[in-house]
């Protein structure tokens, strides 16, 4: 149940997903996706990664752009809660562990500092980050792992949250990753995004970050009608599950060096 007096922002924007207490989609749901963002790291503990976009064509997955450098959490990766089967062997994503979620996740909506009229190239539902917009990471709150406008909540029940309008450019553009979302399990991780990095090699607290140029390109490409998903795994785990999960075949290597343009 959600507090009275407001609708969780993610659900308000995506009325088709109001069934927030329904079970997670199964792995079979991946078959309906036509856009896949793949992020791989060298191992579970690595924070440098490579991002590659793919589109499903008549003969299978095809690359849709070059491989680009990204960074993940300072703790590396850990299995989160998404469209993949659970449990899985290996590190498990927990609140505050500094790990980004490994697995398969729906990419549901975008956010940024600019007003909607200034970002018409973005096809995903878009949320403007304003001063009162917060992502709740308090495990005791009924709004845990939900982005809410504090003004619309009569009695906020959280003691910890992340301001979506930051003093730097990290959330100037971003995408919400549906990790531990429907429903949320307290302590299983919250407020996971794809956003702009602080710079090459500078790990996050649990998100996946990239250059401004890479984020602009990604957001111009993502289209909700193609049910975009994020697949994020260490290289060995990707290779192990590539056939079973029907993932794109790809050559896995260390992250390409960031160019001046990437910075």
Instruction: List pLDDT tens digits, range 47-88.
Output: 999 999 999 998 899 999 999 999 999 999 999 999 999 999
Higher pLDDT, 30 or 139: 139
3-class DSSP assignment, residue 10: helix
Tell me the average pLDDT across 162-181. Answer: 96
pLDDT tens string 90-145: 999 999 999 999 999 999 999 999 999 999 999 999 999 999 999 999 999 999 99
Residues 26, 182, 104, CA angle at the centre, nearest 5°?
45
223 pLDDT higher than 70: yes
Tokens of 123: 């096809």
Residue given tokens 């790291």 in the structure block: 41
Q: What percent of the chain has pLDDT over 90?
A: 79
Closest by CA to 175, choosing from 227, 252, 230, is: 230
Q: Where are the domains of the chain?
A: 32-241
Q: End-to-end CA distance of the chain, in Å?
A: 43
When pLDDT is averaged across residues 10-31 and rounded to a whole number, the result is 49
SS (H, E, C) 204-219: ECCCEEECHHHHHHHH
**pLDDT computed for residue 256 by the predictor:** 53
Asked if residue 190 has a cis previous peptide bond (ω within 30° of 0), the answer is no
pLDDT band at 213 (very low <50, low <70, confident <90, very high): very high
Omega within 30 of 0 (cis) for the link into 139: no
The Cα 124–Cα 177 span in angstroms is 12
User: Residue 194 and residue 111: Cα distance in Å, rounded?
Assistant: 10
């Amino acid at each position: 149940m959600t507090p009275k007096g407001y609708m969780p922002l993610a659900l308000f924007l995506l009325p088709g997903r109001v069934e927030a207490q329904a079970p997670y989609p199964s792995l079979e749901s991946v078959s309906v996706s036509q856009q896949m963002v793949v992020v791989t790291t060298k191992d579970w503990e690595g924070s440098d990664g490579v991002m590659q976009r793919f589109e499903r064509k008549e003969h299978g997955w095809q690359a849709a752009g070059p491989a680009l450098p990204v960074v993940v959490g300072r703790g590396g990766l850990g299995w989160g809660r998404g469209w993949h089967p659970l449990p899985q062997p290996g590190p498990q994503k927990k609140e505050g562990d500094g790990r980004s979620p490994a697995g398969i996740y729906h990419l549901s909506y975008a956010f940024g500092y600019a007003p909607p009229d200034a970002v018409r190239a973005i096809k995903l539902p878009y949320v403007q980050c304003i001063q009162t917009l917060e992502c709740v990471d308090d495990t005791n709150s009924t709004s845990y792992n939900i982005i809410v406008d504090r003004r619309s909540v009569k009695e906020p029940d959280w003691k910890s949250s992340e301001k979506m309008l930051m003093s730097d450019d990290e959330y100037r553009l971003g995408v919400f990753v549906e990790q531990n979302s429907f429903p949320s399990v307290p302590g299983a991780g919250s407020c996971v995004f794809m956003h702009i990095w602080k710079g090459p090699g500078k790990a996050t607290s649990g998100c996946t970050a990239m250059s401004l140029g890479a984020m602009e390109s990604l957001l111009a490409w993502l289209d909700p009608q193609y049910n975009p998903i994020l697949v994020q795994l260490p290289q060995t785990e990707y290779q192990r599950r590539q056939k079973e999960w029907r993932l794109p075949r790809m050559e896995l290597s260390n992250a390409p060096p960031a160019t001046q343009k990437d910075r």
